[in-house]
């Protein structure tokens, strides 16, 4: 609002004393003080309401930003989960495709096939 200095206040007080007189000045000063205090409280209330609204808007903005970040994280986790589930299923499939006993895969066939023995008889030409 306005910020009166000391000398401005002295001039206002002297004028009020001259206009109102010494009998009515205390009553009027009390009423003016009451209304000035009430106006200050009202202004402070309006100011706090406005600040609270600004904080509310800021909190709503932050909440929406965090909600979008949470959605992104949820999508990332879902894709990672799908990859892990796919890898587990692939591993299960490969394990089921393996022979039951681990030694069976390492052993060669039970009946080895040999090459035919060369004929040791000389050929007659």
The predicted pLDDT at position 111 comes to 56
C-alpha distances (whole Å) from 60 to each of 46, 65, 67, 72 are 21, 9, 10, 18
Is the pTM here over 0.85, yes or no?
Answer: no
Structure confidence at residue 59 (pLDDT): 86
pLDDT along the chain (125 residues), means of 10: 79 88 90 94 94 85 94 96 94 84 57 60 60
The pLDDT score that the predictor gives to residue 117 is: 59
pLDDT at residue number 36: 93
């Amino acid at each position: 609002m306005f910020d009166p200095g000391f000398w401005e206040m002295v001039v206002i007080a002297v004028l009020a004393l001259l206009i109102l007189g010494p009998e009515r000045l205390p009553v009027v000063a009390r009423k003016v003080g009451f209304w000035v205090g009430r106006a200050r409280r009202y202004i402070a209330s309006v100011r706090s309401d406005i600040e609270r609204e600004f904080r509310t808007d800021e909190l709503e903005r932050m909440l929406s930003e965090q909600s979008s970040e949470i959605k992104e994280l949820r999508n990332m986790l879902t894709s990672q989960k799908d990859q892990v589930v796919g890898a587990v299923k692939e591993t299960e499939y490969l394990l089921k495709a393996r022979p039951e006993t681990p030694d069976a895969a390492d052993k060669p066939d039970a009946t080895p096939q040999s090459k035919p023995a060369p004929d040791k008889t000389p050929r007659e030409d």
